[in-house]
């Protein structure tokens, strides 16, 4: 009697590379209070994805155009 077996496999290979651009607002100010103190403030204005790539040993696949707007937003939210 022949028996068919099924086996599920998961293997992690390659990397995901995300290229994105961030714009920042930078403010430097000096205040005097018992001496001079310099304050640096950097606030991120926005960021957007330039490309999302699957990288393997021998090739790279650009998947940017295959992702939906909400998927790109989710990636940006996870970048930090």
* pLDDT per residue as tens, the chain (80 positions): 888 888 888 888 889 999 999 998 889 999 888 888 999 898 888 899 999 999 999 999 999 999 999 999 999 999 87
Q: Is residue 4 in a domain?
A: no
Q: Is residue 69 in a domain?
A: yes
CB neighbourhood size of 46 (10 A): 9
Spatial CB neighbours of 64, under 8 Å, sequence gap ≥ 6: 49, 50, 51, 52, 53
pTM: 0.66
Say what the pLDDT of residue 4 is: 85
CA-closest candidate to residue 54, choices 7, 2, 25, 13: 13
List the end-to-end C-alpha distance of the chain, in Å, as a whole number: 56
Q: Is residue 70 in a domain?
A: yes
Q: Is residue 9 in a domain?
A: no
Measured CA to CA, the distance from residue 49 to residue 56 in angstroms comes to: 20
């Amino acid at each position: 009697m022949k028996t068919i077996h099924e086996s599920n496999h998961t293997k992690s290979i390659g990397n995901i590379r995300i290229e994105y651009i961030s714009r920042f607002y930078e403010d430097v100010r000096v205040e005097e209070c018992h001496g001079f103190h310099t304050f640096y403030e950097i606030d991120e204005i926005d960021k957007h994805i330039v490309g999302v790539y699957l990288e393997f040993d021998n090739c790279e696949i650009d998947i940017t155009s295959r992702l939906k707007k909400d998927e790109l937003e989710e990636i940006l939210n996870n970048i930090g």
